[in-house]
Amino acid sequence: MLNVAIVGPGLVGGALLEQLAAHAQSPRFASLPISVVGLINSKKMAISTKSFTAQDLDQWKTAILGSSAVVADLSQFTDSLAVLKGSTAVVDCTSSDTIAELYPLWLSKGLHVVTPNKKGFSNDISLFRKIQQLSASPKGPVVYHEATVGAGLPILSTLNDLVRTGDKIVKIEGIFSGTLSYLFNNFSIPGATQKFSECVSVAKSSGYTEPDPRDDLNGMDVARKVTILGRVAGLDLSIDTLPVENIVPEELRGVSSAEEFMSRLPEFDEHFKKLNDEALASGSVLRYVGMVDGVNSQSSVKLARYARDHPFASLKGSDNIIAFTTERFPNPLIIQGAGAGAAVTAFGIFADLIKVCERFGTGSA
Please write the tens of the pLDDT for every residue from 270-308. Answer: 999 999 999 999 999 999 999 999 999 999 999 999 999
The binding site for NADPH consists of 94, 118
The binding site for L-homoserine consists of 210
Domain assignment of residue 229, yes or no:
yes
Domain assignment of residue 158, yes or no:
no
Residues 315, 114: Cα–Cα separation, whole Å: 30
Map residue 211 onto helix, strand or coil. coil
Q: Residues 64, 87: contact at Cβ < 8 Å?
A: no
Q: Are residues 141 and 213 in the same domain?
A: no
Torsional class of 293: left (φ above 0), alpha (ψ -120 to 50), beta (otherwise) = beta
Residues 162, 357: Cα–Cα separation, whole Å: 23
* Low-confidence residues of the chain: pLDDT under 50: 364-365
Q: Are residues 35 and 174 in the same domain?
A: no
Catalytic option among 44, 85, 225, 273 = 225
The binding site for NADP(+) consists of 8-13
Partners of residue 88 on adjacent β-strands: 3
Q: What is the CATH number of the domain that holds 56?
A: 3.40.50.720
Q: Is 195 tagged catalytic?
A: no
pTM over 0.85: yes
So what's the pLDDT on residue 229?
A: 98
So what's the pLDDT on residue 361?
A: 61
So what's the pLDDT on residue 67?
A: 85
Domain hosting 287: range is: 163-338
Q: How many domains does the chain have?
A: 2
Helix %, strand %, coil % of the chain (to 5): 40, 20, 40
Domain assignment of residue 234, yes or no:
yes
Residues 219, 227: Cα–Cα separation, whole Å: 12
